[in-house]
Amino acid sequence: MGKKLVVGNWKMNLLREDAKQLSGAMVNMLGACYNECNVVIAPPYTAFEVVRTCIEDSNIELAAQNVFSSTSGAFTGEVSPPMLLDAGCRWVILGHSERRYILGENDEQIRQKLLLSVSSGLKVILCVGETGKQREDAVSDSEDAASRKELLFSPIKAQIESALGSIGEQLIADIVIAYEPVWAIGTGENATSFEIAEIHRCIRELLTRMFPACGNEVKILYGGSVKTVNIAGIMSADEVNGVLVGGESLSAGSFVKIIKSVGG
């Protein structure tokens, strides 16, 4: 399984000077040699260069928050996997709920983006998760615990099967799954350890069915209002191999505390 992973998603925040201050403070507080766990940060494209320069002598890696599904051409406003690699980026976040539900990205687009990303040499953090309505419906429409679990997992299963259905087992090592219940993102309402473990176990079972040789090795992160105050409980849940942090990654002090808590 290797080391645990902490990813910071800065979303559409920070001008270059603020991004430089934040990444510089993170490196200083963490120590350039820190490698108890793997750390990835995803600034907006406009801050890539300043952040890349700040982290170049550390073990922190750079991620993008999105990518397009073609290598080059007449796709105004888009950025391709080779462009990300050229900018020093090693990772890309795909399928984030803000892209699915605010920007209208569908499973097929995510599948195409993922396929081109991994075959171009990027590592992918694939976000999946149920909405609050889907969770409520699973509870009200089920008769027992088993059918509740099946109903609850079904939208997440569909997202994973769609995104990874055409991926060869040899590429799966470059993919990380982030379970992010949509109702927990940016709301301050995080899932309980029980709720996290229940879904993470289902994801693990699905991955080992889809990829018998390597499914056990795929990291599964939790994301959704991860904070310094709840990180210990989240990491104690079964099958949690790290976290995807949004709001709290915009504070160097909080993000470094989370990293050190995950790294042990």
Catalytic residue among 61, 96, 98, 248: 96
Helix (H) or strand (E) run with residue 123 in it: strand 123-128
Q: What's the CA gap between 214 and 235, in Å, rounded?
A: 22
Which of 163, 245 has the CB closer to ligand PEP? Answer: 245
Please answer whether residues 226 and 255 qualify as being in contact, where contact means their C-beta atoms are separated by less than 8 angstroms.
no
Which of 185, 256 has the CB closer to ligand PEP? Answer: 185
CB of 42: closest distance to ligand PEP in angstroms? 9
43 lies in the site for ligand PEP, by CB under 6 A? no
233 lies in the site for ligand PEP, by CB under 6 A? no
Q: What's the CA gap between 99 and 215, in Å, rounded?
A: 26
Q: Which two tokens stand for residue 123?
A: 């590592």
180 lies in the site for ligand PEP, by CB under 6 A? yes
Which of 23, 225 has the CB closer to ligand PEP? Answer: 225
CA torsion, ordered 14, 20, 25, 26, to nearest 10 deg: 70
Q: Which two tokens stand for residue 36?
A: 């108890």
96 belongs to the catalytic site: yes
Helix (H) or strand (E) run with residue 113 in it: helix 107-120
- Identified binder of ligand PEP from the candidate list 80, 223, 234, 242, rule CB under 6 A: 223
155 lies in the site for ligand PEP, by CB under 6 A? no
Residues 84-113 that bind ligand PEP (CB under 6 A): 96
244 lies in the site for ligand PEP, by CB under 6 A? yes
CB of 64: closest distance to ligand PEP in angstroms? 14
For residue 29, which of 39, 15, 44, 42 has the smallest C-alpha distance? Answer: 39
Residues that bind ligand PEP (rule: CB under 6 A) add up to a total of 15
CB of 177: closest distance to ligand PEP in angstroms? 13
Neighbours of 119 (CB within 10 A): 13
8 lies in the site for ligand PEP, by CB under 6 A? no
**83: number of CA atoms within 13 Å, CB side?**
15
Which of 23, 230 has the CB closer to ligand PEP? Answer: 230
With contacts defined by CB under 6 A, name the span among 12-20, 159-167, 191-199, 243-251 that binds ligand PEP.
243-251
Q: What's the CA gap between 146 and 139, in Å, rounded?
A: 11
CB of 196: closest distance to ligand PEP in angstroms? 13
Neighbours of 238 (CB within 10 A): 13
CA 248 to mean position of chain CA atoms: 14
CB of 225: closest distance to ligand PEP in angstroms? 4
Secondary structure class of 1 (helix, strand, coil)? coil
Binding site for ligand PEP (CB under 6 A): 9, 11, 96, 180, 185-186, 223-226, 244-248
What positions carry a catalytic annotation? 96, 180
